[in-house]
Amino acid sequence: MHGECCFESEVLAAVVECRWPERVESELRVHASGCAICADVALLAVALREDREVLKSIAAPPESGRVWWMAQLRARREAEKAASRPITAAQVFGAAATAWFAGACFGASSDWFRSEFVRLASGAESAGIGVFLTSGVGLLLLLAAVSIIILVPAAVWLAVGKD
Amino acid sequence: MFRDATLRDAIAAALAPADSESGSLVESQDVRADFAMDEDSFRSFYDRTARGLWAYLARVTGDRQAADDLLQDAFYRFLRAGTEYESEAHRRNSLYRIATNLARDARRRSVVRPDAVVSGEDIERVAGADSAGSLDLNADVERAMSRLRPNERAMLWLAYAEGEPHVEIADRLGLKVGSLKPLLFRARRKLAGLLRGKDSDHAR
């Protein structure tokens, strides 16, 4: 349920046009003093419009030229970000494929790895770690392991971390 | 504050390295073409509406800082909407609808922290012989509005501070005109009661 008064819009118009209460017909003033709806409308319209003027006078919006150029800058950045999104997806795919390939290679050569590891352990025991590292295969194995451990997470971080 | 020419130079300088790094992925002309209006039209529209919109956002959010942030965001999204507008009223409605949605989102994300919109430092900036009376009234309105729901504040502001007709208010707030009337009536009674509780002389 809601009440309406046929003079409500007239009272509001008088406030908006700064005619309220002095420059309105006395009948409207008399009506408003006895009508709860029009009295509320007059109260709120006067209070809120005055409040609006106070707020407008203290508002310090940035200069229009600045807003325009900042909007351009932001639009440009967003467009660049949107344009680079497929590249990022390709980078993530590449990093995942690399990791998969490295894992597959490692799995295929695991027997060989185990034998090299046994040789490492026995070599380290008998002649120290230097023997293993000076053997070409051992050094290659070590470098591959380090690459997988360090480079793959780094590549994934670079690809995903940008966003 | 930046002068326009200085600002343009500063932004151009800031953009230059980005161009060379990205291989000019996006030219500024392309960005400009996405905007709904040209610079002169935008600046003119902004100058006509920014203060009023700020006042609306400040009252709806009750947070001055949020109003500052939302104002710029609203104009940016308005520009990016890329819509052709039939009239000034249509354009304003669209801007206010964007601002209303942004204020609603900000509230949901709890980035709005209601506080006194008018501070002691502002008192000197309020012009007019009866500025003390205006500031008292402003404090009363602020207190009373803070006890209303944000949607009630928005509809009351648009109806009585901006003097907008129901059709425009409904459009800006995403309501049906038929639903607006009872909501507005209840909100009006509530705010009038709160204001009368403090001071019954404002209706004069």
**Same-domain check for residues A54 and A89:** no
pLDDT of residue A142: 74
Please measure the distance between the N-terminal and C-terminal CA atoms of chain A and give it in whole angstroms. 52
CA distance B108 to chain A (A): 24
CA distance A89 to chain B (A): 17
* B109 in reach of chain A (CB within 8 A): no
Q: With bands split at pLDDT 50, 70 and 90, how would you rate the model's confidence at B194? A: very high
> Is pLDDT at A4 greater than 90 in this prediction?
no
Report whether B191 contacts A42 (CB < 8 A). no
- Cα nearest neighbour of A5 on chain B: B185
**Same-domain check for residues A157 and A94:** yes
Range from A13-17, A71-75, B13-17, B127-131 carrying the lowest mean pLDDT: B13-17
Residues of A with CB below 8 A from B156's CB? 44, 48
Say if A76 falls within a structural domain: no
**Same-domain check for residues A100 and A153:** yes
Say if A64 falls within a structural domain: no
Could you tell me where the DSSP H helices lie in A24-63? 26-34, 36-58
**What's chain A's average pLDDT?**
81
CATH of B36-114, one of 3.30.2310, 1.10.1740, 1.10.287, 3.30.720: 1.10.1740
SS3 B126: coil
**Same-domain check for residues A105 and A148:** yes
> Is pLDDT at A153 greater than 90 in this prediction?
no
Q: Which of residues 7-46 of A touch B (CB under 8 A)?
A: 12-13, 15-16, 21, 39-46
d(CA B124, CA B79): 34
Q: With bands split at pLDDT 50, 70 and 90, how would you rate the model's confidence at B99? A: very high
Residues 6+ positions from B67 with CB-CB distance below 8 Å: B54, B57, B58, B61, B117
Place of tokens 């494929």: A97
ipTM of the complex: 0.74
Q: Do B79 and A58 count as a contact with CB atoms less than 8 A apart?
A: no
**Same-domain check for residues A46 and A100:** no
- Cα nearest neighbour of B139 on chain A: A51
Which of A27, A43, A58 is the C-terminal boundary of a domain?
A: A58
- Cα nearest neighbour of A4 on chain B: B185
- HSE value, Cβ hemisphere, 13 Å, CA-based, for B97: 16
CA distance A29 to chain B (A): 10
Say if A85 falls within a structural domain: yes
Say if A37 falls within a structural domain: yes
Residues of A with CB below 8 A from B185's CB? 2-4
Q: What is the mean pLDDT of residues B52-64?
A: 94
Phi and psi at residue B123, to the nearest 5°: -55, -40
- Cα A39 from chain centre: 48
* A62 in reach of chain B (CB within 8 A): yes
How much is the CA Rg of chain B, to the nearest whole Å?
Answer: 20
Say if A68 falls within a structural domain: no
Q: Which of B2, B117, B202 sits opposite A55 (nearest CB)?
A: B117
* A1 in reach of chain B (CB within 8 A): yes
**What's chain B's average pLDDT?**
79
In which element (H, E) is residue A71 found?
helix A64-108
Range from A43-57, B25-39, B134-148 carrying the lowest mean pLDDT: B25-39
- Cα nearest neighbour of B135 on chain A: A54
Range from A150-154, B143-147, B159-163, B168-172 carrying the lowest mean pLDDT: A150-154
Structural domain including A14 reads 8-58
Q: What separation in angstroms does the CA of A127 have from each of A24, A114, A120, B140?
A: 110, 19, 10, 89
- Cα A113 from chain centre: 45
Q: Do B54 and A64 count as a contact with CB atoms less than 8 A apart?
A: no
Residues of B with CB below 8 A from A42's CB? 203
**Same-domain check for residues A33 and A102:** no
Say if A125 falls within a structural domain: yes
**Same-domain check for residues A155 and A89:** yes
Report CA torsion sign: B157, B158, B163, B167. Answer: negative
Q: Which of A46, A67, A69 sits opposite B203 (nearest CB)?
A: A46
Which of A24, A43, A58 is the C-terminal boundary of a domain?
A: A58
DSSP-based helix, strand, coil % in chain A, nearest 5? 85, 0, 15
Report whether B51 contacts A59 (CB < 8 A). yes
- Cα A122 from chain centre: 55
Per the model's pLDDT, the better-predicted residue between A52 and B29 turns out to be A52
Place of tokens 């003093």: A33
pLDDT of residue A91: 78
d(CA A84, CA A69): 22
What is the per-residue pLDDT across A9-62, written as a single tens digit (0 to 9) for each? 999 999 999 999 889 999 999 999 999 999 999 999 999 999 999 999 999 999
- HSE value, Cβ hemisphere, 13 Å, CA-based, for B81: 16
pLDDT of residue A140: 75
**DSSP states of B72-84:** HHHHHHHHHT---
Domain count, chain A: 2
Residues of B with CB below 8 A from A1's CB? 182
Range from B89-103, B125-139, B141-155, B185-199 carrying the lowest mean pLDDT: B125-139
**Same-domain check for residues A93 and A140:** yes
CATH of B130-198, one of 3.40.50.720, 1.10.287.370, 1.10.10.10, 3.40.50.620: 1.10.10.10
Report whether B188 contacts B156 (CB < 8 A). yes
Say if A99 falls within a structural domain: yes
* A129 in reach of chain B (CB within 8 A): no
Please measure the distance between the N-terminal and C-terminal CA atoms of chain B and give it in whole angstroms. 41
Q: Do B51 and A59 count as a contact with CB atoms less than 8 A apart?
A: yes
pLDDT of residue B113: 67
| The two three-digit tokens of residue B21, written as one number | 């790094």
Q: With bands split at pLDDT 50, 70 and 90, how would you rate the model's confidence at A98? A: confident
Q: Where are the domains of chain B?
A: 36-114, 130-198
Say if A71 falls within a structural domain: no
